[in-house]
Amino acid sequence: MNADSMFLFPGQGSQVVGMARDLHDRFASVRDLFTCASDIAGFDVAATCFEGPMETLTETRNLQPALTAVVLACYRAAVETRAAEPAFVAGHSLGEYAALAAAGVLTVEDCLKLTTARGRLMQAQAEANPGAMGAVLKLAPEIVAQIVEELAEEHLICLANFNTPEQLVVSGSEAAIEALTEKVSEVRGRVRKLKVSGAWHSPLMKGAETPFNDVIDTVTFADARIPVLMNVTGTPEQDGSAIKENMKRQMCSGVRWCPALQYAWDEGVRRFVEFGPKGVLAKMMKAIAADPGQMETLVVDNPEKLENWSAWELTTPAV
């Protein structure tokens, strides 16, 4: 095990048309993974990822199994190139399912089964209960929390993602996010409205939670080989039953990403590998680290990046 390394798995917002095409062309195991994903999801996942269009790819019922397949493809190609085992794994929101597969908690098939069901249920719920999300920038978390608490007296609103010390994401109704934007501007902050199709990680998803948890109950959660820093708690877990209960809460709970990564930093982790396109989580880590100068990040999403992966001194079981 590499005590100073951690593997990161991104979620919605990381997608680009064409993602993982080169890995699909090079690795038979990646082609097999995409075939498996298509069989489970009920649509051509490879074509959706490689050809789009972006509007189709971004629909959460398509995106959740598609991006999960891409992230697992990046991980599988890396492991096939050279095995390695980190001190921790973590995935942001949707990415937590890929992290569980990497840690041996879920099989690839069950991971894709869950993310397919999750995407369909969340899309249906978002259409029934429209909402929005906004990233609050340049304000201390306690100020954002106070504003959200005040707005909650009149609006359906909650903290959805604690991403970095200076970026919190808030979910709620359209009216709530508009009110948030006004309040934040009054104290010299800024809200960037996110391009999402629903108010993720909020009570607006409650109608999807119960049927999704019924699907979770059909799946085996094994004990984790590698500690998983959980979204719901921000702390590590390896017990399969405890992980299952965390995942039942995840859809409607806030993502404690910053506390989770700060925990890893405090445990001595200084090298962070992200599997998937765009490197969103690697960029976040630079805002979380107490001393970014001591940190290394690597994003693995194409064959060229695998050369950098091969050069790192790391030792991961295959998925």
- Catalytic residue (choose from 38, 201, 202, 253): 201
Enumerate residues 6+ apart whose C-beta is below 8 A from 66. Answer: 15, 37, 41, 45, 48, 49, 57
Instruction: Give pLDDT tens digits for 230-288.
Output: 999 999 999 999 999 999 999 999 999 999 999 999 999 999 999 999 999 999 999 99
Query: Cβ neighbours of residue 160 under 8 Å, at least 6 residues apart?
Result: 133, 169, 170, 171, 199, 200, 201, 202, 254, 255
Kindly list the distances between the CA atom of residue 292 and the CA atoms of 103, 203, 265, 285, in Å, as whole numbers in the listed order. 26, 35, 11, 8
As a whole number of Å, the CA-based R_g of the chain is 19
Nearest to 296 by CA among 5, 43, 63, 44: 5
Report pLDDT for 317.
46
Active-site position among 38, 93, 173, 253: 93
**Structure confidence at residue 307 (pLDDT):** 84
Please report the pLDDT score of residue 147 as a whole number. Answer: 98
| Res 197: pLDDT | 87
Residue segments in the chain with a per-residue pLDDT below the cut of 50: 315-318
Cβ 30 vs Cβ 20: under 8 Å: yes
Question: Can you give the pLDDT at residue 1?
Answer: 60
For the question of residue 201 being annotated catalytic, the response is yes
Domain 2-127+203-311, CATH number (from 3.40.50.300, 3.30.450.80, 3.30.70.360, 3.40.366.10): 3.40.366.10
Closest alpha carbon to 9 in 73, 92, 81: 92
CA 196 to each of CA 60, 67, 108: distance values in angstroms, whole numbers, following the listed order: 9, 15, 26
Q: What is the pTM of this model?
A: 0.95
Q: Which fold has domain 131-193?
A: Alpha-Beta Plaits (3.30.70)
User: What would the two tokens of residue 233 be?
Assistant: 């708690």
Mean pLDDT of the chain: 95
Q: Give the pLDDT of residue 82.
A: 87
Q: Check whether the bond before 53 is cis (ω within 30° of 0).
A: yes
Domain ranges of the chain: 2-127+203-311, 131-193
185 is catalytic: no
CA distance 181 to 175: 10
